[in-house]
Every structure is written in C-alpha cells, then in structure tokens.
Amino acid sequence: MKQYFIELNDLAEGKVSVQGSFESGLIDLAAENLQQAGTLDWSVAAERAGSEVRVTGTLKTGVELPCSRCLEVARCEVTKPFDLYFRQRDEMMFDEDEEVELDDQETRTAFFTGTKLAITEILREQLLLALPMKPLCKVDCKGLCPSCGTNLNVNTCQCLQEQFSPHMDTLLEIKKRLEERSS
C-alpha cells in the first residue's frame, strides 16, 4: 500500500492538499470482525496555524461489522469530515511518569514527533471514530432469542416470550421511532 505523508517542511510555503483512495481492505482496522467494504476515498489539506498544524479533510467508505442485535454482517456507509490540530511534541513538555492536567484546548490537539504526519493513521483513527455505536443489519432487526440464541430474523423458536405490560407498548413505539431516526 502506498503510504501518504504530509511533509511539515512543505507547510512553510502555504497549504498542502492531498487526495486519494485506498482499495477495500488496505486500511488495517485492527479488529477481526470489522473490515473496510469498499474504496476509501479521502482528501486532506494541511496548513500552519501558529505553532500548530491544522489538518482538515473528509473520508467516505463502507464498512462491515457485526449487527448489535443478531450478530449478522451489517454494512454501514461512513462519510466523515474532520478538523484536527497537531503540535510538535516537546520532550520537556511531558515526563512519562508524571501526571499532567490538560485544559480544553490541549485535549483537542494531538502531538507528533519528526517532520511528517502519516495520513493513513489519521484516516484510520477518524474512520474508527465515525463507526456507529450500535450498528444494525436493518432497522427492524429482531435480534437473537435471549433463551436459545435463534436468529429471530430467520427462524422462530418455541421459547416463552416475555409478556410486556400494556403500558410498555407506548415506550416500545417511541424506542422504535428513535432507532429508525438514528439509522
């Protein structure tokens, strides 16, 4: 895989823009049940912002991960803009064994060493941050039977179903609408 870097020395002349794409499976997402399922198209621009480097960009791809209800493969389309700040790590700034309290501005800034920023690592991190908390294979996924483990989207089982109070119907309807809206 071709590695893309932002050469920080080039930023003295102004803004640097780079774009490209990675074929399916080229970004290592470090999880066996999570994989890139389509071309990852991206664009990145970097510029100096005082003592920091500002990196803005977008990425778009598809990913496959397990459904949070039935564990079947769920495909999610991910489109994410990002706006990040990086600062050269000063060896005197942090002692590895010392606790340091960071303010709000410092928590929005990442630190780097050397003269290059690895775009692949930035894209990987942003892709992982954009994944849904509870991916679903479909909005009305019935999930697995809590007693026998049958996938209720495919089969029915003979287990006793929990009986909900009639007052729960309204709450279940609200829950369903919220899940549809978040998908």
Identify whether the C-beta of residue 58 lies closer than 8 Å to the C-beta of residue 40.
no
Q: Are residue 95 and residue 57 in the same domain, yes or no?
A: yes
| Rounded average pLDDT over 48-68 | 90
Please indicate, yes or no, whether residues 79 and 42 belong to a single structural domain of this protein: yes
C-alpha dist (Å) from residue 72 to 20, 35, 152, 175: 31, 14, 12, 22
> What is the pLDDT, as a whole number, of residue 104?
66
Q: How much is the pTM? A: 0.72
One domain for residues 142 and 76: no
User: Domain range for residue 152?
Assistant: 138-183
Same domain, 94 and 148: no
Does 4 have pLDDT greater than 80? Answer: no
The model's confidence at residue 96, banded by pLDDT at 50, 70 and 90, is low
Whether residues 111 and 183 share a domain: the answer is: no
pLDDT score of 39: 92
Average pLDDT, stretch 48-61?
A: 89
What per-residue confidence (pLDDT) applies to 62? 92
Considering the domain architecture, whether residues 148 and 181 belong to the same structural domain is answered as yes
Instruction: Pick the last residue of a domain from 130, 146, 161.
Output: 130
User: What pairs with residue 5 in β-bridges?
Assistant: 118
Q: How confident is the model at residue 169 (pLDDT cuts 50, 70, 90)?
A: confident
118/152 same-domain check: no
The total number of structural domains in the chain stands at 2
pLDDT of residue 1 exceeding 70, the answer is no
In terms of domains, do 21 and 74 share one? yes
Do 152 and 90 lie in one domain? The reply is: no
What number is the average pLDDT over the span 103-124? Answer: 74
Indicate if 143 and 113 belong to the same structural domain: no
Q: Which helix (H) or strand (E) holds 5?
A: strand 5-7
Interval 64-74: pLDDT, tens: 999 999 999 99
The answer to whether residues 154 and 117 belong to one domain is no
Instruction: Give the pair of three-digit tokens for residue 158.
Output: 């003979």
Question: Do 149 and 67 belong to one domain?
Answer: no
Write down which residue in 85, 108, 130 finishes a domain: 130
Distance (Å, whole) CA 86 – CA 100: 18
Instruction: Judge whether residue 111 has pLDDT over 70.
Output: no
Residue 171: the pLDDT is 83
Averaging pLDDT over each range in 10-19, 21-30, 56-65, 87-96, which range is the top one? 56-65
